[in-house]
Amino acid sequence: MRNSKRIEGIAFDWAGTLTPWHTIDVPDTWLQVARAIDGDDAPAIADRLLCAERELLTRCREEHVSATLDQVFQAAGVASGPEVLDAYRLAWEEHTFLDPAGVRVLRALRERGLTIGVLSNTLWPADWHREIFERDGVLELIDAAVYSSEVPWTKPHPRIFANMTSAMGITDPALCAFVGDRLFEDIYGAREAGMPAIWVPHSVIPEEELGSGTAEPDATVVSLQELPELIDAWNNA
């Protein structure tokens, strides 16, 4: 159970939490990228990229060490020039848009004086995420962001959660709630780091990505819109 300390900050997972859950045809996205490299050899290139990505993401999940998109291309033996990266971003763009309630919810939390953070397991560089938040009109509402691509760890490693609270200027993790859609990386990780954990169970996590261990959230919400009321209830208890 969550302790009685007043919540001063709230940090969010990105994909599947701040963005709605999408079931993505990952092989097809790599095929789109491969066509920008070599149309004749696209299926073989896409297979190499997919295998390299899966291997690195498995390491991220099992060993909690980070990886980058550059490492995917390097492991597949594929050059990643500007045109290739543009094709990659275009293939993923439809899956990057903020939850329609997101701007309202983040503004409501900011109006309550909360510090807002984002903590994401991602292969993408930080600049890409900043551009997405700017496009969606919430960049000014995010006080700090930590991306696994920029540090040595992935969730649920406690060090990455400590990085998050430190970047938010919060010295006691019990004062910072974490919101995520994955029980292992987000909820288990946050609880192990001493943070109250809020689960948004609207994502269909593939079995191979479930991770090990179990976790009990401090609260469950069906949508982001419930968060301001939940924080009010916690802070006024």
Domain end point (choices 50, 76, 94): 94
Residue recorded with tokens 């297979």? 47
Write 59-65 long-range contacts (CB < 8 A, 24+).
60/121, 60/148, 60/154, 61/154, 61/185, 61/209, 61/211, 64/153, 64/154, 64/155, 64/156, 64/157, 65/152, 65/153, 65/154
> How many independent structural domains does the chain possess?
2
Residues 161, 184 within the same domain = yes
198's tokens: 């809020």
What confidence score (pLDDT) does residue 2 get? 61
CB atoms within 10 A of CB 113: 9
- Confirm whether 2 is domain-assigned: no
pLDDT per residue of the chain (237 residues) written in tens, 0 to 9: 566 789 999 999 999 999 988 888 999 999 999 999 988 899 999 999 999 999 999 999 899 999 999 999 999 999 999 999 999 999 999 999 999 999 999 999 999 999 999 999 999 999 999 999 999 999 999 999 999 999 999 999 999 999 999 999 999 999 999 999 989 999 999 999 999 999 998 766 666 666 665 689 999 999 999 999 999 999 997
Torsional sign, CA 132, 144, 102, 119: positive
Spatial separation of the C-alpha atoms in residues 144 and 125, rounded to whole Å: 15
Q: Which pair of structure tokens corresponds to residue 96?
A: 């990057």
Whether residue 161 sits in one domain with residue 53:
no
Are 133 and 60 in the same domain? no
Domain span at residue 187 reads 9-20+97-235
Number of alpha helices (DSSP H) and beta strands (DSSP E) in the chain: 9, 6
Whether 4 maps to a domain, the answer reads no
Specify the amino acid at residue 3. N
Question: Residue 81 domain-assigned?
Answer: yes
Beginning with the edge strand found earlier in the chain, give each strand of the sheet holding 176-180 in spatial order: 144-147, 115-120, 9-12, 176-180, 197-199, 219-220
Is 3 inside any structural domain?
no
